[in-house]
Structure 1
Amino acid sequence: MAARCLFFSCFCVSESIYAFWTEAAGGSPLEWVAVLTGFVCVWLAARESLWNFPVAIVSCGLYVLVYYRAGLYSDAFLQTMFIALSLYGWQQWLYGGRNRTQLPVSRTTAREWAGCAIFTVAYTLGVGYCLQRYTDAALPHWDAFTTAGSLAAQYLLMRKRLENWLLWVVVDVIYVPILWYKHLYPTSALYALYLGLAVYGYLEWRRGLRKAAAPAAAVLTPTS
């Protein structure tokens, strides 16, 4: 009798574990395509490739549906904003430099930092309140904060500011548990990978920035 109970308990536990990992690894086909294109998009951005923008447009279009179905309405709206910002960023990277040349990597200005901070706080409080009061949104203020932080980071990315990657790190750290909580396991795993890509992107862009600054520093250094 005890052996049968033990066998039954082990069977139930194994079934529960199997069901969990099936759901975690499964997701929907739509979510998996969004995950794969999202990963490629960020990797291309870290490599300073213009191809990150068309891939981002495809990924964001898919994520509008994924997030809407999960009740993350602010994040669904965010993806529509990303599509518009990706079109603008594509143009900026191509012609946003001096004399309509390609835009180089640069540092974030104090005015841009202030603008991003004010926008993030205002959006989080305002949109978070509206989501909480008028919708059935899950985690309304956290949803609003990650949306605002992502928009701020995307703006800096469009302007090729080095520090955009630091904002992405903050946003990704928050997204991972939120998406896991909403049972979007593949997307939660994707944002965990985004953390690594954000660090990689920061190091790559910083190295490129220093490399570009080296010749100018050599010219300015007086020779003996």
Structure 2
Amino acid sequence: MDITSWFDINNTFVVIPIGGGYAMSWIEMIGTLFGLLCIWCASQEKIINYLFGLINVTLFGIIFYQIQLYGLLILQLFFFCANIYGWYAWSRPDAMNGEALKVRWLAKDKLIKTSVISVIAIMLLTVFIDPFFSVLASLAVGVLNTFGASITLSALDPDAFPFWDAAITVLSVVAQILMTRKYVENWILWVVINIISVGVYAAQGVYAMSIEYVILLFIALNGTKEWIQTAKANTSELEYRERVL
């Protein structure tokens, strides 16, 4: 069998008896597996999560290319870059104290700024989501055609859930950035993102992905609990050092 066939979304791994039957391809199965491994290892603060994340977003990027979801393809490119940066940031000693990044909470001023920027971004994207993703799709097609893809961009239908779609997109970007800096709040955002995603995918009849996000929700809840405990321990250690010094 040609190795490229493993990357074809029509190469079915299993038909899941949900709705009218959902044909899960090999690439989706493997990509999903690495995505779950990535999130679980991140919740355990294991740096290998970024290797799994790079594999996940690469495979999902190939999927989105094949099903012509170019906006999501661009988002995978962001996640790819964020995973590379996160791997670097988690393994590099901090410039201030020479130690690796530690799990901690956002400072109050940073939390307020992040919240305000996120709300504004969600509001703007909700209003302009259709033209925004149209531009992204055109950009992606233009780049791919530069490399000889010969793709014709079809007319995009209006977004089915503009507010929730905007919220998922913006919060995913913010959560990924916070994760690379080991802020506890990233897991709280992933919990919110996964709850929204479960509802959106179920409403659209994509039940397999809805079930996947239920699993991700429980991993995110566990990550929240684990990182809160770690942040408390790190805070206690810092306070002890300050008293000793």
Under TM normalisation by the shorter chain, which class is it?
A: 0.7 to 0.9
Correspondent of 1:55 among 44, 52, 75? 52
Determine the structure 1 residue equivalent to 2:195.
173
Q: Deviations over 1:60-119 (max 9, x none)?
A: 111123345556443332111100111111111122623453111121223333333333
1:71–1:136: 8 Å Cα contact kept in structure 2? no
Consecutive unaligned residues of structure 2, counting only runs of 5 or more, are: 1-15, 136-154
Question: Which amino acid counterpart does residue 217 of structure 2 have in structure 1?
Answer: L
Determine the structure 2 residue equivalent to 1:118.
120
Distance in structure 1 (CA, Å) of the matches to 2:184 and 2:161: 30
1:45-84 to structure 2, matched below 5 A, reads: 45-70=42-67, 72-84=69-81
Determine the structure 1 residue equivalent to 2:102.
104
Structure 1 residues 182 and 103, CA, compared in 2 at 3 Å: closer, same or farther?
A: same
1:82-161 to structure 2, matched below 5 A, reads: 82-95=79-92, 97=94, 98-108=96-106, 109=110, 110-131=112-133, 135-136=156-157, 139=160, 141=162, 142-161=164-183
* Structure number, greater radius of gyration: 1
Determine the structure 2 residue equivalent to 1:6.
none
Consecutive unaligned residues of structure 1, counting only runs of 5 or more, are: 1-17
Correspondent of 1:200 among 193, 216, 222? 222
2:39–2:216: 8 Å Cα contact kept in structure 1? yes
Distance in structure 2 (CA, Å) of the matches to 1:96 and 1:166: 26
Q: Cα offset for 1:144?
A: 3.4
1:176–1:192: 8 Å Cα contact kept in structure 2? yes
2:130–2:159: 8 Å Cα contact kept in structure 1? no
Distance in structure 1 (CA, Å) of the matches to 2:48 and 2:232: 24
Correspondent of 1:186 among 208, 220, 244? 208
% identical aligned pairs:
26
CA RMSD of aligned residues (A): 2.8
1:173–1:195: 8 Å Cα contact kept in structure 2? yes
Structure 1: 4+ residue segments shifted above 6 A: none
Q: Which has the higher helix share?
A: 1
Structure 1 residues 221 and 41, CA, compared in 2 at 3 Å: closer, same or farther?
A: same
2:125–2:166: 8 Å Cα contact kept in structure 1? yes
Relative to the length of structure 2, the TM-score reads: 0.71
1:169–1:198: 8 Å Cα contact kept in structure 2? yes
Q: Cα offset for 1:35?
A: 1.0
Residue correspondences, number? 204
Distance in structure 2 (CA, Å) of the matches to 1:114 and 1:95: 30
Structure 1 residues 215 and 131, CA, compared in 2 at 3 Å: closer, same or farther?
A: closer
Q: Cα offset for 1:51?
A: 0.6
